[in-house]
Amino acid sequence: MFSHIKELQYNAKPSQPDPVYAKKLQEILGGQYGEMSVMMQYLFQGWNCRAENKYKDMIMDIATEEIAHVEMIATMIAQLLDGTPAHDQEQGAKDPAVEAVLGGMNPQHAIVNGLGAQPNDSVGFPWTARYTIASGNLLADFRANLNAESQGRLQVCRLYEMTTDPGVRDMLSFLIARDTMHQHQWMAAIEELEQTQGAIVPSTFNQEYEKQEVSYSFMNFSQGEESSTGRWANGSTVDGQANFEYVQNPEAMGQIPTLQPGPPYIHGTR
């Protein structure tokens, strides 16, 4: 059960309207790595969690916080749109500078959403559930979560650099800080799971069934040998089961494919 309180988790108060920036801010609301994505990803991971209660509780803690972040950004977008379209658009023909600024505004903010946020990214692509990952394997999911928080923090930092509005920057600085914590959170949880489950997902699959002669071989499939100096090509493997092998000129191990002609009803080339 969820319960809503009127106060935001943190202030979302721009110093002045900015419809062009409101369009940019849509990316961290409804984009692939926006707050809607992590909110839904974490909620379904939590609802589907069959592991220890501490993991389910932790996932639901952060999932619920992400609902608050969605509300903060939606509120900020709405306020950035305050008082912008109708009168200013009428004056646009008289003032080329105003016309140029409004040219960057998302027209759907006014036409479709009534000066409100929308569940889309910054170019109008609708948010999709395909952005979310909830596999049931917590190690796999937590690694996806770490990526989501890493990409999300990167985007918020870039947006911070794109505005000088102190109110917008204040809210973004809070989100950046929370993304810092969330990266630490997922890294700590990953580290804990790796100690009990190993580093490779899934740990329950018997490695005897995989082609073990290539399990730890780094194959150079591009020009140059710079990659041979990396940690991934030298020394003990992360799981401690073997040593990495560097293969400079990997050979093809499969057959030359030859396909049978298609049946007549396919009308293919013979």
**Could you tell me the domains of the chain?**
19-197 (1.20.1260.10), 206-270 (3.30.1530.10)
User: For the segment 28-86, what is each residue's pLDDT rounded down to a tens digit?
Assistant: 999 999 999 999 999 999 999 999 899 999 999 999 999 999 999 999 999 999 976 54
The mean per-residue pLDDT over the stretch 180-187 comes to 98
Q: What's the DSSP call for residue 190?
A: H
The reported pTM is 0.88
Asked whether residue 100 carries a pLDDT value surpassing 60, the answer given is no
Q: Which residue is it, tokens 């809070």?
A: 174
User: For the segment 137-164, what is each residue's pLDDT rounded down to a tens digit?
Assistant: 999 999 999 999 999 999 999 999 999 9
CA nearest neighbour of 23 among 158, 130, 145, 116: 116
CA nearest neighbour of 167 among 9, 39, 18, 5: 18
As given in the structure block, the two tokens for residue 23 are: 């369009």
Asked whether residue 95 carries a pLDDT value surpassing 60, the answer given is no
4 is in an annotated binding site: no
224 is in an annotated binding site: yes
Q: What backbone phi and psi angles, to 5 degrees, belong to 89? A: -65, -35
User: For the segment 236-254, what is each residue's pLDDT rounded down to a tens digit?
Assistant: 999 999 999 999 999 999 9
Residue 85, pLDDT score: 55
Q: What confidence tier does 105 reach under pLDDT thresholds 50, 70, 90?
A: confident
Q: What confidence tier does 266 reach under pLDDT thresholds 50, 70, 90?
A: very high
CA nearest neighbour of 164 among 43, 21, 19, 8: 21
Q: What confidence tier does 104 reach under pLDDT thresholds 50, 70, 90?
A: confident
Q: What backbone phi and psi angles, to 5 degrees, belong to 236? A: -70, 140
Give one DSSP letter per residue of 66-131, joined into a string.
HHHHHHHHHHHHHHHTTT-SHHHHHHHTT-HHHHHHHTTS-HHHHHTTSS---SB-TTSPBP-GGG
61 is in an annotated binding site: yes
User: What whole-number distance in Å separates Cα of residue 40 and Cα of residue 49?
Assistant: 14
69 is in an annotated binding site: yes
The mean per-residue pLDDT over the stretch 186-205 comes to 93
- The answer to whether 39 touches 32, Cβ cutoff 8 Å, is no
Asked whether residue 90 carries a pLDDT value surpassing 80, the answer given is no
48 is in an annotated binding site: no
35 is in an annotated binding site: yes
The mean per-residue pLDDT over the stretch 80-99 comes to 60
Residue 113, pLDDT score: 86
Asked whether residue 190 carries a pLDDT value surpassing 90, the answer given is yes
